[in-house]
Amino acid sequence: MFSGVDQKMCTGPQENVVEKLIPVYFRNFLHIDVNEVQEACRQLELHDDQLRLIMDNMNERFENGLAAEPTNTAAIKMLPSYVRGLPDGTERGEFLALDLGGTNFRALWVHLTDGEAEITSEVFRVPDYIMKGTGEALFDHLAKCLAKFMEEHGLKGREKLPLGFTFSFPCKQERLNCARLANWTKGFKASGVEGVDVVELLKDACARRGDIDVDVVAVINDTVGTLMAGAYKENTCNIGVIAGTGSNACYMEKVSNIEKINENSSSDHNEMCINIEWGAFGDDGALDFVRTKYDKIIDDGSINKGQQLFEKMVAGMYLGELARVILEDLARKGVLFGGEYEAISQHGIFPTKYISEIESEFQENQDSSCQFLKTREIFEDIGIPVVTSADCAHVAYICSLVSRRAAHMVAAGIATLLKRINKPFVTVGVDGSVYRFHPTFAKLLDAKIDELLERKHKYKLMLAEDGSGRGAALVAAVATRLANEHQDRKIQG
């Protein structure tokens, strides 16, 4: 995490790292013809007028997704989370949280006191045969893991604790504690779950055991959890963003603007968290004017062609592959690696972590003495034994443009939300591996948001850690607090 981002408000653009990189790139390797490299990458450079058009297109889709009757082609779903409040610092007590979003499953015991969260957690594996078996077997496995965790920490037989359940798969949320799985992703294929409320499945599995009883008060996804984790640290946090293997965002919207839930705003809870699912932005053609031939190759080779097009341009699952297809194209043209292209033509051989490693090396050694030891090692492992210094500089340049475009597109999304919320000051909670580990992504993101906003919009980016775990417990805590407040009002009334 870039520490300066935590302290910065909208006070002026930071130094553009890539603009600094390009002159060095030319100065040290003038004997190399770089025209073809520049030409290949030109389409990756988005200008502010293009980014502002992306913002306009995105906000139009936000409005459509919130409408009482969204069009059938609505790419951005704008899913109500039924989370109606954020932490206010008064949350106290003990809570359980469960986190299922992949092959690992976490159980957490969270103790909230005076703005601090003491967390005890354990990770359990979900075997492949469980992932692809029956829904009953899957939820029995989750209940078994939860029972083991509660036994080990002396939580069995105690007063029933409120539980928040992070279930990071596409769902139709009907209430805060009711979410029906739309379709499995991430290799899961357990039968009998799609279309069913996952909270009820978890409760039924616990009941079958007979030794644990849980009060599942909320089910969320990891993006909503990120917002909650951020709001627990800063009460001005109104936006949560994931910039990691995937990409998504959520924000607090006025209930009066959410036409499709057919509810009136109330003086008590006039906002609700909206899970945008912005990875699908562009599926309706809204990004066609900035998509390159390389983006189309990525999409054609994916298992969900024509879907999640924004995510395929900005998320860690795809950035390494995007850089690889550019490198392959240039190698086939004889511009890189002496025309050796067979090794780099293998799908998936250039993961996104290579982008971070290569850019880090080049940022640290921007002079003629740079030996590109890490970059050479990467390509030797790939199967390209002879890589010149010019090749390495070309590769660093290409990686920089791939990651810069991703940062700028995410920045356009965040700037759209900041304008939409239109509050005097907003903290944006961000989590994800790309934001955390890429050497310049956080700086590029922050600087471009600044450039796209009017001066009246003040903001801060903040690392909001462990939304899928801590955030689930916080949703349970807030739901419990709001329920208690409602009960108190009834008694007093």
The two tokens of residue 380 are 């030797």
Which residue among the candidates 20, 156, 160, 186 is catalytic per the annotation? 186
Amino acid code (one letter) for 61 = R
* Residue 21 vs residues 102, 335, 434, 438: alpha-carbon distances, Å: 38, 20, 20, 16
Q: How far is CA 294 from its chain centroid? A: 22
**222 tagged catalytic:** yes
CA distance 377 to 21: 22
- 294 DSSP β-pair partners: none
**Exposure of 451 by Cβ count < 10 A (0-12 exposed, 13-18 middle, 19+ buried)?**
middle
Which residue among the candidates 99, 140, 197, 222 is catalytic per the annotation? 222
CA distance 89 to 478: 10
H/E element, 389 = helix 389-421
Radius of gyration of the chain (CA): 24
Q: Cβ atoms within 10 A of the Cβ of 124, count?
A: 16
Are 247 and 311 in contact by the 8 Å Cβ rule? The answer is yes
H/E element, 310 = none
Q: How far is CA 476 from its chain centroid? A: 21
DSSP state of 161: P
CA distance 485 to 470: 22
Tokens 């379709």 found at: 183
Are 59 and 416 in contact by the 8 Å Cβ rule? The answer is yes
**186 tagged catalytic:** yes
CA distance 345 to 331: 9
Tokens 């939580």 found at: 155
Tokens 């030996």 found at: 371
Query: Of all residues in the chain, what percent are helix, strand and coil, respectively (each to 5)?
Result: 45, 20, 35
**Which are the catalytic amino acids?**
186, 222
